[in-house]
Structure 1
Amino acid sequence: MTELSQFDDDERALILNTPGVVLKGAIVSDGSTSPLVFLKEVTAGARAFKQAHRHENAFVKSVALALKERPADEDSELPVTEEAMPEALKLAREVAVLLREQADPEDAAAYTAWLVHLATEVAAAVKSRSGGLFSKKVAINDGERRFIEDLEHALQA
């Protein structure tokens, strides 16, 4: 089993920072500036983090618990620009490479699947109309779908 302690400080920071950045990328991927939408998406993200405290994979569970115990970052900014998406994809690519090189394959796969799950939960938190006023509501709009697909590709790169 992979342990967080086997990584140096920079590597551990990458592992622990990536889920939050993916959360921010997923939040801005819908293009909405509505405070209500933002609140629903943040709530969905928080629920996904809490569920990870009981994750079946011990490595993912240890990451989620380490995030819970980690002090809040006072410099943390809310995702207000689309810059969160490229940053999330960059970190996802880096963490995937790191885990493929240094973690058990099962743990690497579980962690990357958890990142996709997190983004999907946030994206599905609010239904939106994709084709205008008279179109039906969809759980995941085109921007969110592109972000999730790009995230999956980044994690496989």
Structure 2
Amino acid sequence: MEKITPKIKYLGFYQLIGGIIGILNTIRFLPNFTQINGGIFLLLLAIFLLYSFSVFCGYLLLKKRNIEGLNLSIYNQLIQIVGFGVLGYAFHFTAGVYGGIKLNLTNDTIINFMFGHSMARIDINNLNGFTEISINFIAIILLNLIFNLKSEVEKVAEA
């Protein structure tokens, strides 16, 4: 258990800090809205809830509630793997660091590399009409790490 504890702690801090940065980034952009109607309020609420979920996952891991924290962290990372935009609808979410590729399929197939931190985008009926898909490799790596940590924690719990 001594070898896996620091990894779980680092993962907890990563998710906690990534969620907090995302919340702060979202708050920073609130003054850009001249008016917040019901639809925008719901989108902002969804973004805040997603970032809060990441903070909660990190909190559980730091409080050594490992099984529960790792189980929820799996869902947290699954949400962050694939982003898309099609027919005016889009979803991209990352709490922490993202890095991967984005395929823009609007007119031609254009491959872009992407790298950054804590971002959220939810479009509903946006008129720009772009078509894209993105894959976050860092979330895939973290998901693999979480499954390995979960396996190790379960082995220690059985012993």
TM-score, with normalisation over the residues of structure 2? 0.31
State the structure with more CA Rg: 2
Q: Which has the higher contact order (CA 8 A, sep 6+)?
A: 1
More helix by share: 1
TM-score, with normalisation over the residues of structure 1? 0.31
